[in-house]
Chain A
């Protein structure tokens, strides 16, 4: 039964990857090619879509893989929906159980000296990880060819100056207070989509 295989494989993905959606990618690639669910090219094509559509990257990917696997069965469209439901559920299930248990333990032991000590060390690490995400995301936007892990001279060959301008406009915009309230991040995202269409659209039409 292909749905059981799908469930089991995605359950393992959810259980064994630490560090978020992008850390799942190698395991997903391996599974998908092992079962011949998708070709590697199909997967690479979809990664671009999964990044640019709303929702966490890994969930988008799981939904897509599940849909493709399910659609290939005799159930057709219904099978596709069933497949994406199963893959998403499977990847989320370990989180659900683990987080509940860890949160309970955390609340119970948070006053313990050593747990507090460990947290004192882990909190800065997590903040450091967020800072590294800042640089990764910024580089992806401004210098699409640049890779911090393999720095090469041609990494700066492409420079996206329109993105840089948008960043420079949104940095102060996100701090402005109107009647004591900051602009909601969701409004900022919607606004940035409009600006993107206007600027890049105009730029592309000109070319």
Chain B
């Protein structure tokens, strides 16, 4: 811990070994789909090491979710690339994949005995319950990074419902979200342009500045009044 801090102070650059080790730990404690790892990555990269912000994290998830491939690997590659370029991407990817590789290779020789082991099942049932909470925490963290307002809220709820209750393809959800986002910007621009058109430019400026003028005037008049 102390060493990490010193390193950070001496050299802002993340070492390849640190990158590998962080992603290795993440890979080792990821269960099921990629979402469980968000909490671990948040803790490691944002809270503890401060390599990035939660906002960066959400944007990385956006990229990981909207590109082909395993989400966990996409996220790891993205982290590695941001930290240390192409070499970082390779190292981070190897890190996140290595635990799977070693464990499954070792297990594949006695998979049946393993699958039937009651104690392991018991442990895993506990882990699954914990993973549920980790995904909840990941959701809360990421939800806080969203812009406030009806637009975000509506899209979140719509995407949630469609993803949960239907077999609708995720990539189309993301595409539709993107299209809505662009439409929002275009419409907002059009509304502003129209408003500016209906009022001559000088006039709109005057309207905006009027309150300040009034203040000055009342200040001035009261001042004058005092003089008199």
Q: A80 CA to B109 CA in the complex, in Å?
A: 10
Q: Is the interface of A mostly helix, strand, loop or mixed?
A: helix
If A92-B73, A121-B180, A128-B160 touch, does A18 touch B67 (CB 8 Å cutoff)?
A: yes
Q: A148 CA to B129 CA in the complex, in Å?
A: 18
**Residues of A close to B72: CB separation below 8 A:** 20-21, 56, 58-59
Q: A107 CA to B70 CA in the complex, in Å?
A: 22
User: Is B206 an interface residue when CB atoms closer than 8 A count as contact?
Assistant: no
User: Is A24 an interface residue when CB atoms closer than 8 A count as contact?
Assistant: yes
User: Is A109 an interface residue when CB atoms closer than 8 A count as contact?
Assistant: no
Residue among A67, A149, A191 with the most chain B CB within 10 A? Answer: A67
Could you say which of A1-9, A29-37, A193-201 contacts chain B? A193-201
**Residues 68-93 of chain A, each 1 if its beta carbon lies under 8 Å from chain B, else 0:** 10010000000011001100100110
Q: How far is the CB of B32 from chain A (nearest CB, A)?
A: 5
Which residue of the partner chain, among B29, B65, B101, contacts A59 with CB atoms under 8 Å?
B101
**Residues 177-207 of chain A, each 1 if its beta carbon lies under 8 Å from chain B, else 0:** 0000010111011011111110111001000
Q: Which residue of A lies closest to B173 (CB)?
A: A125
Q: A22 CA to B32 CA in the complex, in Å?
A: 9
Which residue of the partner chain, among B25, B35, B178, contacts A118 with CB atoms under 8 Å?
B178
If A64-B104, A114-B182, A174-B137 touch, does A119 touch B27 (CB 8 Å cutoff)?
A: no
Residues of A86-134 at the interface with B, using a CB-CB cut-off of 8 Å, are 88, 91-92, 94-96, 98-100, 102-103, 106, 113-114, 116-134
A99 touches B184 (CB 8 A): no
User: Is B14 an interface residue when CB atoms closer than 8 A count as contact?
Assistant: no
A residues in contact (CB < 8 Å) with B: 14-24, 45-46, 48-60, 63-64, 67-68, 71, 80-81, 84-85, 88, 91-92, 94-96, 98-100, 102-103, 106, 113-114, 116-138, 140-141, 148-149, 160, 162-164, 166-167, 170-171, 174, 182, 184-186, 188-189, 191-197, 199-201, 204
**Residues of A close to B89: CB separation below 8 A:** 96, 99-100
Which residue of the partner chain, among A121, A133, A163, A182, contacts B128 with CB atoms under 8 Å?
A163
If A95-B93, A174-B133 touch, does A116 touch B33 (CB 8 Å cutoff)?
A: no
Q: Which residue of B lies closest to A114 (CB)?
A: B182
B185 touches A113 (CB 8 A): yes
Q: A141 CA to B64 CA in the complex, in Å?
A: 26
A185 touches B39 (CB 8 A): yes
Q: A50 CA to B108 CA in the complex, in Å?
A: 11
B167 touches A67 (CB 8 A): no
Q: Which residue of B lies closest to A169 (CB)?
A: B129
